[in-house]
Amino acid sequence: MSTIRISRIVARTKVEGPGLRYAIWVQGCPIRCEGCFNPHTWDRQGGEIRSIEDIVQDIKAELKSSPELEGITLLGGEPFSQAHGLSILAHKVREMDLSVVTFSGYDYDTLRRSGHSGWRRLLQQTDLLIDGPYIQSLHDLSRPWIGSRNQQYRFLTDRYKQLEDRLSSIDNKLEIRLHPDGTLTANGMARISDLELLLELGYQSKEAKE
């Protein structure tokens, strides 16, 4: 049974790619960008192990209760460090006619030229790839879902091609959740001042993208 090591799942989010999405932060990242928002996802032994089948069943249940669910987003952590398992998951998800958005701290040229079969398979199962490491000196929140100017959108299928000329009209947003135990969690992209405000309010676990 194939498994994936994950850091966190948010089953319904509107700030991790186009439309309503099921977002999976994988655990483990060898890239270790300075200023990374998610250093707790670096440790390859952290997080929890989930079976792909279990996650697929969870996505099916979400789709049943939220038919407007658009697709899944894979982010991290580094999705290409678990490319084989994630390509299997992405394939099953696309069979449900859901889309796949994948983030990577590797740049697209590195991914496509590597010759790594798992990397090739995950690229084949991705509709929109957002590639490149977070570079603190190039910090920029003016484009949706990403945090630095070097990062790029790669429309690997036609699924979101229509967004290519409209990206500047999509805002970068932050979602904040208040949990029954009083803790706050957040995902999406935020200005440092917004994150500092969240910390003052008792925010427990920062989550943002590459």
Which parts of this chain interact with ligand SF4 (CB under 6 A)? Answer: 29, 31-33, 36, 38, 41, 76-78, 105, 133-134, 210
> Shortest approach of ligand SF4 to residue 25 CB, angstroms?
9
How far does the chain reach from its first CA to its final CA, in angstroms? 29
> Shortest approach of ligand SF4 to residue 128 CB, angstroms?
17
| Strand 99-104 to 128-131 pairing | parallel
Nearest residue (CB) to ligand SF4, 71 versus 105: 105
What is the rounded CA–CA span in Å between residue 97 and residue 26? Answer: 22
> Shortest approach of ligand SF4 to residue 158 CB, angstroms?
27
CA separation (Å) from 66 to 13, 60, 61, 193?
A: 11, 10, 8, 33
Contact 160, 149 (CB under 8 A): no
Contact 43, 144 (CB under 8 A): no
Nearest residue (CB) to ligand SF4, 78 versus 127: 78
Nearest residue (CB) to ligand SF4, 134 versus 160: 134
> Shortest approach of ligand SF4 to residue 208 CB, angstroms?
8
> Shortest approach of ligand SF4 to residue 85 CB, angstroms?
17
Contact 120, 84 (CB under 8 A): no
Q: Which residue is nearest to ligand SF4 (CB)?
A: 105
Contacts of residue 155, Cβ cutoff 8 Å, sequence gap at least 6: 127, 128, 161, 163, 164
21 three-state secondary structure = strand
The residue among 112, 30, 39, 116 whose CA lies nearest residue 79 is 30
> Shortest approach of ligand SF4 to residue 150 CB, angstroms?
11
Nearest residue (CB) to ligand SF4, 42 versus 159: 42
What is the rounded CA–CA span in Å between residue 70 and residue 18? Answer: 8
Nearest residue (CB) to ligand SF4, 40 versus 92: 40
Nearest residue (CB) to ligand SF4, 71 versus 77: 77
